[in-house]
Structure 1
Amino acid sequence: MTRPRLYRRGRTAAATAATAGLLALNAPWAGANTVEGPQFSPAAVVDTQQWSAARASDELDFDLLDAQPISVGDAMHLRFLLHNPTSSTVDDLQITSRRGDAVASTDSAREQLAGGAFPYFGASTTADSLAPEETKEVELIVPTALADETTLAIDEPGAYPLMFTLTGSRDGQATSFAEERLIYDVAPSATPEPGQEPEQATPQPDQAVQQDPPQQHALTVVYPITSEIDIVPGDTGGEGLILSNDNLASELAEGGRLSALLDSYFSHNLRGAGCVALDPALIDTVDRMARGYTVNQTRPSVAQRPQRLRDSWFDSDRDTRGEPGTGSQAAAAWLARLKNLDCTMTMPWANSDASAVAHTNNGFLKYEATQRGAETIERITGKPVSTDLLAVGSGYISQSLDVPTLVANNSQWKGRAATFDASLGALLAHTGSKPQTVGYSNPQLRYDYSMDSGLSRALSGAAGLSVAARAGDTVAKLPNYQGESAAQAALDAAQSLVDSGTSTARGVAQLPIEDQDSAQPGSPYADPAAFSDAEIVRVEQQARYTDDLTNIMVNDPSIALTRYGFTLPLRRGLISSFSITDRATSAQFSEAVATSNERLEKQSEMLRELRDSVSLIPPGNVYTRVSESSPLLIVAENGLPLPVEARMLYEASDDSVLNTPATVRIPAKGSITVSMTASMPNDTDRSDIRLWLATPNESTISQPINIAVQTRAGILSVYGVGVIAALALVLATLFRLGKKKKNRRQR
């Protein structure tokens, strides 16, 4: 029998020792994601350590391109892609295979991926040299049978941690350039060894136990579907959909990511174990796309004043109106397929951080983010959701919500919740094109997951799902933003578990819901993607301004649009700024923060423009009052699509009093002349007054205008002074002329 070789190389051994040192200072590895996690503490300041505490970065790009499933005794046939992004040539490249012992839990799997030793060495191959920016593919065959040479010696089925190292030399110095790690599921042998009976083909450690029927465990799979929704900020009710790009159309088209996710789900029969968690913002946007939309970088003003014909002669607006979107048919076809889903549930609107939304203390935002989704999905698909559980993307909640949630089983919460396997959820979150660092994961096991190829991460996720399901009842929550291959691999594993009888399907509606009133709800660890207090306060402020804008408008039976419907897209835009789709990915965190800031800036500009469209227009800078009953006429203008009811507030430089109406109702997209009188003190000839429109609770709406009110006595006084000055000027002129004539005579 060929024994696997035990050997450690410098780079891996050093990384392993460093990781082990970190672990020794904290809780044991085996308890990394258990319910009895460490004490809760406020989220710390985001730093590099919170994103990545394990594994050094690679110098060369080293990705697994192809790996076929194997059984015990089969050889692995692998294909790798190598790329040199540096400015130096690397020589004598070699790929070496290594493995560790089979893992029995997802905790162990994650430990191996973060800092495993991989002591058993297998086959290797050379790849010669690689020039700067050069790319090449390399194939590697790795024997696993005990009788083979340079074998990994895998004689039992199970999930094995594998590592492939890329070593070589640069400038004559031996260097380890990159690593590729994954968990690889090895199936039982399909054919017996020579001399074995078929039922003895796969040796088992305990034949007595093998005689008993395997215990079945319940399996539930939550399958989220979301995407980036690039609606141009400042959207309001009654307006057409404007997207900043047409990427969503590509995802919805045949072969696109969203289409492929539905293909994968429909091609598997999980017998009731699966449920699709839909992002209601995505469903609503696709529904609007199906009715036609525009692609443009800017949004036209909804409160623009009427333009004179001659002012539009050289107007270039027609060049900035954008182009019609190309995805309407694909959107309609994709929505039609949604109606065939056997189970649906809802995510928070735009995959937003539900806790951050709730922290704004704005009831409208909270409702739209966490409760509007079920209504939206039913309205568009014609079918109610299968459960009222909310699949929060963060995996935990730190604020109380009005609906039950699906959270990680190592978190604490206030209210009602069902739980999923936190360790498996953290492993599955590695997969896809946007690998996520979930806040409920142990920081000691975090690293830049994109160092491993998408295929390796997909295989690891599928293997982890199998390991967890074989160990006990499992609720597997797949990542928020799924990649096609990773989703396919996870569903393949789930169907294999159900078909083999290892797992029995349990619908998401059957999950036990627990009431909890934790004093410290939230994640057991610091979340690097958590929103800061400053970000939350900024959204809270804009939400308050949006509420004020809503309150100054009144519904009109002759206008189909309501005031809430008009400002609803603005609220949804604020919720979208809390999206964690890109924010939870370390490589895209900074870009996500910048995108959120830009969205809020444009939202603020739109709010300012809408508020400024309700304004006062004075008849002139000075108003002359002929008598105490003389009316003061002010024009109030409204650029909003609904009538506005506002108060007129003022400040006077003296004790003057304006007799303003209690409220002013300004028609939609129109104006009205407001008549009022002014009471001025008897000894005052002129009064300077600032006048503005305000909400019923006296929050300012319009920019103040300045007017001067004066009496006829004031006019006479001014005129009298003017006459006297004119007479004095005339007399002075006559005096000077007379003096000049006298001087001439004397000469």
Structure 2
Amino acid sequence: MRADLVRRRAALLAAVAAGVLLILGLTSVPSVVAPAHAVEPGYARLTLTELTPSTVTSAGGDVVRVRGRVTNTFDRPISTLKVRLQLGSQVRTAVGLRTSLMAPSSAFPVLTPQRSVAETITPGQSAAFDVEVPISGSGGLQIEDTGVYPLLVSVTGVPESGGLMQVAESRSLLPVLSLPASATRATGFVDPAYGAGDARLGRDGSVAPDTSAPAALTMIWPLAATPQLAPGVLGGETEPVRLISDRLAESLKPEGRLGAQLTALEKVAQPDGPDARLRDGLCVAVDPDLLVTVHGMTLGYVVSEDPSDPRSATVPGTGQADARAWIAQLRSIAEQLCVTALPFAQAGLDSLSTIGDEQLSTTAVTGAADIVDALLGIESARDVTIPAVGTLSNAGRDVLTSQGRTGAAIASSAVEPAATDALGRYRSGGVGLQTYDVPISAALGAAGTRPAVPSIMPSWQQPDLRGESPVSRRQSALAALAFPMLTVPDSDDARRGPVTGRSAFVMPPTYWSPTAEDSAALLGAADLLLASGTAREVPLRDVAGSLPEATETAPLVTPGDTDPLVAKGFPISSAQAGEVRSHVALTSQLKSSLVGSPDTVTTPQAYVAPLYEDALRGIATPETQTLNEARRLRTMRIEAVSSTLDHMRQAVSLLDPGGRYTLASERSPLLLIVRNDLALPIRVEMNIDAPEALNVGELGVQEIPPMGTRQIQIPTHASTSERATVNIAMVTSTGVPLSEPITLSIYSNAYGKVLFWITIIAGVLLVLLVARRLWHRFTGEPDPADEDRPEPDADEIRLASIPYQQRLDLTREDPGDLPPADRKDP
């Protein structure tokens, strides 16, 4: 009971304080704006369902209409619910686009009359409201000039056992392009023929758009996703395409994050449509890694149950059909709209500098455009690099210079020019810089299904969006897009002007998620601004062509109030950079030893390409400001690539014959069998360590067929029959060790020098004995060796003269006719 009483008293005090603020209507704004909401948490939730017009124009009527719904999230009824609109002062800076949404209620001095919503709503119950207020004049929003204004929708009520308080609110921005007719303003009209007046004020009191200094509009439309291909999988269609999850399949659906964006872009890309100027000022920025992944999905794919293990179990993917439809739709759009390439997998330039591998930098920067062109069948816009994090360090700039890139688009908070340029273009070293405002990027990223906050956005500039409805977030995005066109900077002193000048280079976060409604509204607003004359389209190719001409120098800096590690795109550590370098070097060596031909299933380049790409995916800029997950993914990819490279080395092996090997003769070859489990032939060499007694001949480079074995004959010459221990190691033709060495005990039937001399002596004796017998035969002298042989008798002499067949017949008829030595028992 006591705790309940304390809570009630606290609520009553808060209600009294809120009531006093509402009555006083304070107009002062603190010098440092911080999140300060007068809403008591847990009472109600306010959801906007409509705000029209989204951009105030002279042709859009003279009222603003807001529809919404109030839901009781308290555990007790809330009564006397009323709603009103409040308007703040015109936003003058890009930072104000975000901080104005964080200001207290006192920063919204214009108050419209309250309108009743409901007498009482019980817990969980909702009540709808519909409010219309005049744009100008008393009782309305009192807007008298063009620009962007913060708008607060406030709901007050009386919770049970409490007092009157603000129970819910919604904050948004209202862009005013022009104003409709007003009798009050008409009294101030001055005919140009009789004097000088406001050139934009019409006779009927309408206010025309300010077209005195049209902003240069270049709108980038990023299409990107966090890397989804599983690491350590070889390419060339030799293995199934493997993803770490099936999230991308949902995103590619027509109603998904990436599918909805193409639906909106497709309408703009119609060649016979009315949006020709918008098409010229719009450029689709595509992550090549996304295209590689989607292309792989079109071939059929699987999802890994353990992404850290390249050989883990998998389940079939579900998005093949959606992937085919999405990439076909993008190809159709790319034929009509400008397309440029983001760095591959959003690889951080600082990480590329730390790794220091030229081939990797080329793939990430220059090769990115080649991949986009090949997969979409177009010629993309080049020479303007768009780092994902929005900053550029001196090391990152040197990477661009080494790749011949002459331009980059970065945040205005990442430079400190001595004097501002009219179009926000500067020079740092040999790279021209096009700047853009991060608060505008943040407002665009806040729209959609999953708000995305740029990592270099200081927390004090980022409002809490958890309670804001999609309509209010979309409305703020529209106003932020219009802000550069509706706000003309002070041109009296260039040093005081904004860094971006009159440039409206619009760069949303690369991982943003606008819905189809968000995309259509943003593109429609851009088209309206171009048609009104407050903006002029500037194609990205024109921006690229003008950046080398930038003259104002601007030192590169780390944006203030941000984590330097985050501001540089979470660069890789020196230790992990060393691992990546060794992986890239080993991959290159293996690729050079592989053999490609028209008969092979793929090429060496395509076979190992995913391993190079995995190195870039490992240094991808994190999607959020949370680095723990980025660290985990980076480590996972590095370890998976290491595992695959080790598996490739073990896949080519010598089959051990068992340790003991006997040569049939002293010159018999040593027979070995080599197995190759890779999908391509590979060239290998043998490093043989043998004793002097076993001379091993030169074998040279051998080519081992894919997915099979080959018997290799190693020429040998044994000079002894003693056991010889031979160590055999196999390496690629580029010197990479393969599998494990084997050790053989070699035995030979050779007897060495003793056998040689015995053979020579025996041969000499045989020749002498033959010569002796021949000598005695030719001279007619009896051979002494025949002296002990008895003389033949008459029967033996007679038998010797009988032919063999006749003698055989005599044996059969009467063995007694034969001499005793030739008789055989029957």
Q: TM-score, normalised by structure 2?
A: 0.66
- The 8 Å contact of residues 638 and 670 in structure 1, kept in 2 or not, is answered as yes
| 1-structure distance, mates of 2:645, 2:122 | 55
CA deviation string 1:138-173 (max 9, x = no partner): 435263556665x54444443111234577788967
Matched, 1:533 2:577: no
- The 8 Å contact of residues 261 and 514 in structure 2, kept in 1 or not, is answered as no
| 1-structure distance, mates of 2:435, 2:429 | 16
- For residue 474 of structure 2, give the secondary structure of its aligned residue in structure 1: helix
- The 8 Å contact of residues 48 and 66 in structure 2, kept in 1 or not, is answered as no
Across the aligned residues of Structure 1 and Structure 2, the Cα RMSD in angstroms comes to 4.8
Q: CA 1:56 to 1:280, structure 2 compared with 1: closer, same or farther past 3 Å?
A: farther
| 2-structure distance, mates of 1:610, 1:171 | 71
Matched, 1:478 2:508: yes
- The 8 Å contact of residues 101 and 463 in structure 2, kept in 1 or not, is answered as no
Show the 5 A alignment for 1:96-115.
97-115=85-103
Give the one of 170, 176, 183 matched to 1:193: 183
Q: CA 1:171 to 1:618, structure 2 compared with 1: closer, same or farther past 3 Å?
A: farther
Q: CA 1:501 to 1:595, structure 2 compared with 1: closer, same or farther past 3 Å?
A: same
Equivalent position of 1:257 in the other structure: 260
Equivalent position of 2:236 in the other structure: 237
Give the one of 370, 376, 379 matched to 2:365: 370
Equivalent position of 1:162 in the other structure: 151
Matched, 1:463 2:461: no
- The 8 Å contact of residues 455 and 624 in structure 2, kept in 1 or not, is answered as no
- For residue 466 of structure 1, give the secondary structure of its aligned residue in structure 2: helix
Matched, 1:420 2:435: yes
CA shift at 1:506, angstroms?
1.5
- The 8 Å contact of residues 637 and 672 in structure 1, kept in 2 or not, is answered as yes
- The 8 Å contact of residues 99 and 462 in structure 2, kept in 1 or not, is answered as no
| 2-structure distance, mates of 1:591, 1:283 | 24
Give the one of 580, 598, 603 matched to 1:562: 603
Matched, 1:549 2:590: yes
Matched residue type, 2:283: C
| 1-structure distance, mates of 2:135, 2:19 | 17
- The 8 Å contact of residues 237 and 569 in structure 1, kept in 2 or not, is answered as no
- For residue 148 of structure 2, give the secondary structure of its aligned residue in structure 1: strand
| 1-structure distance, mates of 2:479, 2:33 | 28
Equivalent position of 2:519 in the other structure: 487
- The 8 Å contact of residues 414 and 518 in structure 1, kept in 2 or not, is answered as no
Give the one of 596, 605, 610 matched to 2:648: 610
Show the 5 A alignment for 1:369-448.
369-398=364-393, 399=396, 400-401=399-400, 402=403, 403=405, 404-411=407-414, 415-423=430-438, 424-446=440-462, 448=464
Q: CA 1:408 to 1:21, structure 2 compared with 1: closer, same or farther past 3 Å?
A: closer
| 2-structure distance, mates of 1:208, 1:662 | 90
Q: CA 1:563 to 1:167, structure 2 compared with 1: closer, same or farther past 3 Å?
A: farther
CA shift at 1:438, angstroms?
2.5
- The 8 Å contact of residues 224 and 482 in structure 1, kept in 2 or not, is answered as no
Matched residue type, 1:483: P
- The 8 Å contact of residues 616 and 693 in structure 1, kept in 2 or not, is answered as yes
Q: CA 1:136 to 1:293, structure 2 compared with 1: closer, same or farther past 3 Å?
A: farther
Q: CA 1:713 to 1:646, structure 2 compared with 1: closer, same or farther past 3 Å?
A: closer
Q: CA 1:571 to 1:714, structure 2 compared with 1: closer, same or farther past 3 Å?
A: same
Matched residue type, 1:513: L
Matched residue type, 1:76: R
Q: CA 1:303 to 1:194, structure 2 compared with 1: closer, same or farther past 3 Å?
A: closer
Matched residue type, 1:281: D
| 1-structure distance, mates of 2:719, 2:20 | 100
CA shift at 1:384, angstroms?
1.0
Equivalent position of 1:214 in the other structure: 212
CA deviation string 1:438-462 (max 9, x = no partner): 3443453245555543332322222
CA shift at 1:620, angstroms?
0.8
Matched, 1:360 2:348: no
Q: CA 1:322 to 1:430, structure 2 compared with 1: closer, same or farther past 3 Å?
A: closer
- The 8 Å contact of residues 638 and 666 in structure 1, kept in 2 or not, is answered as yes
| 2-structure distance, mates of 1:210, 1:585 | 44
Matched, 1:331 2:369: no
CA deviation string 1:227-250 (max 9, x = no partner): 456334414123454556665555
- The 8 Å contact of residues 161 and 183 in structure 1, kept in 2 or not, is answered as yes
Matched residue type, 1:701: L
| 2-structure distance, mates of 1:167, 1:628 | 105
CA shift at 1:555, angstroms?
3.0
| 2-structure distance, mates of 1:154, 1:673 | 89
Q: CA 1:395 to 1:595, structure 2 compared with 1: closer, same or farther past 3 Å?
A: same
- The 8 Å contact of residues 98 and 462 in structure 2, kept in 1 or not, is answered as no
| 2-structure distance, mates of 1:78, 1:655 | 98
CA deviation string 1:460-487 (max 9, x = no partner): 2221222212332321223323413433
CA shift at 1:660, angstroms?
6.8
CA deviation string 1:561-614 (max 9, x = no partner): 22111111232233233444xx3334x765565555545544444333333212
| 2-structure distance, mates of 1:694, 1:173 | 82
> Which of the pair has the greater relative contact order for Cα pairs under 8 Å at 6+ separation?
1
* Larger-Rg structure: 2
| 1-structure distance, mates of 2:736, 2:694 | 22
Q: CA 1:447 to 1:210, structure 2 compared with 1: closer, same or farther past 3 Å?
A: closer
In the alignment, structure 2 segments of 5+ residues that lack a partner are: 1-17, 202-209, 416-427, 489-501, 752-826
| 1-structure distance, mates of 2:150, 2:693 | 84
- For residue 390 of structure 1, give the secondary structure of its aligned residue in structure 2: coil
Matched, 1:20 2:20: no
Q: CA 1:332 to 1:280, structure 2 compared with 1: closer, same or farther past 3 Å?
A: closer
Give the one of 526, 547, 552 matched to 1:513: 547
| 2-structure distance, mates of 1:523, 1:680 | 74
CA shift at 1:626, angstroms?
7.2
- The 8 Å contact of residues 655 and 680 in structure 1, kept in 2 or not, is answered as yes
| 2-structure distance, mates of 1:527, 1:454 | 32
Matched residue type, 1:499: A
- The 8 Å contact of residues 242 and 302 in structure 2, kept in 1 or not, is answered as yes
CA shift at 1:507, angstroms?
1.5
Show the 5 A alignment for 1:57-136.
62-69=46-53, 71=56, 73-80=62-69, 82=71, 84=73, 91=78, 97-115=85-103, 118-120=107-109, 121-122=111-112, 123=114, 128=120, 131=123, 134=124, 136=126
Equivalent position of 1:313 in the other structure: none
- For residue 471 of structure 2, give the secondary structure of its aligned residue in structure 1: helix
CA shift at 1:545, angstroms?
3.7
- For residue 407 of structure 1, give the secondary structure of its aligned residue in structure 2: strand
Q: CA 1:636 to 1:114, structure 2 compared with 1: closer, same or farther past 3 Å?
A: farther
Show the 5 A alignment for 1:661-740.
661-676=699-714, 687=725, 689=727, 691-696=728-733, 698-702=735-739, 704-709=740-745, 711=747
Equivalent position of 2:791 in the other structure: none
- The 8 Å contact of residues 343 and 387 in structure 2, kept in 1 or not, is answered as yes
Q: TM-score, normalised by structure 1?
A: 0.72
- The 8 Å contact of residues 696 and 714 in structure 2, kept in 1 or not, is answered as yes
Q: CA 1:176 to 1:622, structure 2 compared with 1: closer, same or farther past 3 Å?
A: farther
CA shift at 1:499, angstroms?
0.5
Q: CA 1:431 to 1:56, structure 2 compared with 1: closer, same or farther past 3 Å?
A: farther
CA shift at 1:294, angstroms?
3.2
- The 8 Å contact of residues 694 and 724 in structure 2, kept in 1 or not, is answered as no
Give the one of 611, 614, 639 matched to 1:573: 614
CA deviation string 1:343-367 (max 9, x = no partner): 2221122344344345322233222
- The 8 Å contact of residues 83 and 115 in structure 2, kept in 1 or not, is answered as yes
| 2-structure distance, mates of 1:191, 1:231 | 57
Matched residue type, 2:704: I
CA shift at 1:78, angstroms?
2.7
Equivalent position of 2:658 in the other structure: 620
Matched residue type, 2:285: A
